[in-house]
């Protein structure tokens, strides 16, 4: 879907073409992105604009942003996500992601490396079938290695202790 001049999505007003996006979700995404990077009064400014994160020059125009979005996989169930969480909002650093994907790509995400792969506790939970809380407890509380935490079947330690007590 394109928002080019003359397209049905454009509205003519007072000699200027307007983007016609004001009541669309894509416009709210653009506006929120713009505000958190440029408006010191925005509640999220300290996490974006204050950290030096900005919006690229071409995306200062919401219709250009909308064109990019529709050409790059935008849908109503996805959110804009910066691939490099310390990088700017620009075409080569943004993608459309699920809420889960975005939650795993945050500045405070803890990555666990095992067998050359790095994933969050949540992602390792899905991969191994072990609860992310169990993995977290094994590594953070018990001090287990990533290998032991990710490969030891759930209940193994408890079962061994129970058998020893019963002997």
Are 59 and 97 found together in one domain?
yes
Are 79 and 154 members of one domain? no
Is residue 2, in this structure, part of any structural domain at all?
Answer: no
Residue 6 lies in a domain: no
Q: How many domains is the chain built from?
A: 2
Question: pTM of the prediction?
Answer: 0.60
Residue 124 domain flag = yes
Report how many helices (DSSP H) and strands (DSSP E) the chain contains, helices first.
7, 6
- Does 156 fall in a domain? yes
User: Are 97 and 78 in contact, with CB atoms under 8 Å apart?
Assistant: yes
Same domain, 95 and 124: no
Contact call for residues 68 and 59 (beta carbons, < 8 A): yes
Ramachandran area for residue 18 (φ above 0: left; ψ -120 to 50: alpha; else beta)? beta
Residue among 120, 121, 80 nearest 97 (CA):
80
Backbone phi and psi for residue 89, each to the nearest 5 degrees, phi listed first: -80, 105
Assess whether 154 and 136 both reside in one domain: yes
**Can you tell me the distance from the alpha carbon of 34 to that of 99, in angstroms, rounded to the nearest whole number?**
20
> Which residue segment(s) compose the domain that 160 sits in?
112-166
CA 152 to chain CA mean position, Å: 30
Same domain, 81 and 131: no
Is 107 domain-assigned? no
Do 142 and 77 share a structural domain?
no
Residues 124 and 82 in one domain: no
Do 125 and 157 lie in one domain? The reply is yes
In a domain, 128, yes or no: yes
> How does pLDDT run along the chain (167 residues), one tens digit per residue?
444 444 444 443 333 446 667 778 999 999 999 999 999 999 999 999 999 999 999 999 999 999 999 999 999 999 999 999 899 999 999 999 887 777 777 666 777 889 998 888 788 888 899 988 898 899 888 999 999 999 998 886 555 555 555 55
């Amino acid at each position: 879907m394109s928002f080019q001049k003359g397209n049905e999505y454009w509205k003519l007003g007072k000699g200027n073409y307007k983007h016609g996006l004001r009541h669309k979700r894509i416009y709210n995404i653009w506006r929120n992105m713009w505000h958190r990077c440029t408006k010191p009064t925005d509640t999220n400014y300290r996490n974006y604009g204050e950290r030096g994160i900005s919006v690229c020059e071409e995306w200062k125009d919401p219709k250009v942003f909308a064109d990019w979005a529709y050409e790059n996989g935008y849908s109503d169930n996805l959110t804009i996500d910066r691939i490099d969480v310390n990088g700017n909002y620009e075409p080569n650093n943004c993608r459309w992601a699920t809420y889960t994907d975005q939650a795993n790509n945050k500045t405070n995400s803890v990555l666990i490396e095992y067998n050359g792969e790095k994933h969050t506790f949540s992602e390792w939970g899905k991969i191994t079938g072990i609860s992310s809380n169990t993995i977290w407890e094994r590594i953070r509380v018990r001090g287990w290695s990533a290998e032991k935490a990710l490969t030891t079947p759930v209940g193994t330690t408890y079962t061994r202790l129970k058998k020893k007590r019963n002997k």
